[in-house]
Amino acid sequence: MYDLDMKRLPRHVAIIMDGNGRWARQKLRTRIFGHEKGVGAVRKIVSRCREIGIPYLTLYAFSKENWNRPAREVKALWSLLERFLKAELPEMIEKQIRFLHLGDVEGIPASVLQILRQAEEQTAGFGRLVLSLALNYGGRQEILRAVQLLAEDVRNGRAIPSDLSGDVFSRYLYTEGYPDPDLVIRTGGEIRVSNFLLWQIAYAELYFTEILWPDFAESDFMEALVEFQNRERRFGRTGEQVKSAVPDRSAPGAGASRATRGSRARS
């Protein structure tokens, strides 16, 4: 049904799930109701990624900027995320999905942190799909944190400034060991990246759709993948060079084949 080449799937898809509030407003319901409906779309897309063999899926679920929303909505979002993680953990284990949190732990409610840690620990041995939730996450903040960690390493003699390369710098990010996203999808009609994985998406294909997140179905996801495969990824080369079959995965920053984190202190 979809003209998809299973051998050229993106290794890492990152999604900005936008439009829950507008979806709810259209239905004369509360914004929270929209977020709750968004959970259904999350489940569908996670399961489709696992089914077709996309190894990394990263979802932007709570940004640093989201703290500016009305307190009631912020509280409801954290409570929803906590319920989601508690409810889905057994299935993640059953389906061998590795779960990881990307973002700052400071500020996250204690009960959410507890389930985040539990989910990370209990799924640590799996690798069929690495599912990451960006929570209390900001791309600029992540880069600043990486610079701080690197500066400390230089001060302690563990790093030499002249040895710094893109690959070395990537190891200081939350996404240490991940391949960079090949495809970023944003639902909800806005055409921007909103502080999401700023370093990592340097060469990603960007896909924007008007569809509001709760309505984003498996078929819409498959369409995004088809569009991704129809694009020519040049990484600075000419179209002729690309056609002479230099593989896509020579992309700068294409990292390890699975998450191998843990060597850096995370906070």
Active site residues: 18, 66
Tell me if 20 contacts ligand FPP by CB under 6 A: yes
Strand partners, 99: 131
With CB under 6 A as the contact rule, which of the stretches 46-54, 59-67, 222-230, 243-251 interacts with ligand FPP? Answer: 59-67
> Could you tell me how many residues of this chain bind ligand FPP (CB under 6 A)?
20
Q: Are 80 and 35 in contact (CB under 8 A)?
A: yes
Q: Decide if residue 175 touches ligand FPP (CB under 6 A).
A: no
Which strand ranges, in their side-by-side order, compose the sheet holding 129-137?
A: 97-102, 129-137, 56-63, 12-16, 183-186, 205-208
Name the 3-class secondary structure at 159.
coil
Q: Which residue has the tokens 């179209």?
A: 239
Number of Cα atoms under 13 Å in the Cβ half of residue 220: 20
The minimum distance between CB 251 and ligand FPP, in angstroms, equals 27
22 binds ligand FPP (CB under 6 A): yes
Smallest distance from ligand FPP to CB 2, Å: 25
* Position with the least CB separation from ligand FPP: 21
Q: How many helices (H) and strands (E) does the chain have?
A: 8, 6
Tokens of 196: 């999401």
Q: Measured in Å, how far apart are the chain's first and last C-alpha atoms?
A: 44
List the one residue from 13, 15, 19, 177 that touches ligand FPP (CB under 6 A).
Answer: 19
CB of 115 or CB of 256, closer to ligand FPP: 115
Q: Report in angstroms how near the CB of residue 239 gets to ligand FPP at its nearest.
A: 37
Nearest CA among 176, 98, 82, 180 for reference residue 132: 98
- CA dist 139 and 143 (Å) reads 6
Piece in contact with ligand FPP (CB under 6 A), picked from 19-27, 92-100, 150-158, 244-252: 19-27
Q: Using the rule CB under 6 A, give the single segment among 20-28, 48-56, 175-183, 225-233 that binds ligand FPP.
A: 20-28
* Closest separation in Å from C-beta 169 to ligand FPP: 28
- Smaller CB separation from ligand FPP, 172 or 196: 196
**Rounded to the nearest whole angstrom, what is the least distance from the CB of residue 237 to ligand FPP in the complex?**
36
Which secondary-structure segment (H or E) carries 82? helix 71-94
Q: Residue 131 in contact with residue 92, Cβ under 8 Å?
A: yes
Residue 38 is a binding residue for ligand FPP (CB under 6 A): yes
Q: Which is nearer to ligand FPP, 133 or 259 (CB)?
A: 133
Q: Kindly give the pairing relationship between strand 129-137 and strand 12-16.
A: unpaired
The 8-class DSSP code of residue 31 comes to H
22 within 8 A of 214, measured Cβ to Cβ: no
Window 104-143: contact mask with ligand FPP (x via CB under 6 A) = -----------------------------x----------
Q: Does 81 bind ligand FPP (CB under 6 A)?
A: yes
Task: Using CB under 6 A, list all residues that contact ligand FPP.
Answer: 17-22, 31, 35, 38-39, 42, 59, 61, 66, 77, 80-81, 84, 133, 188
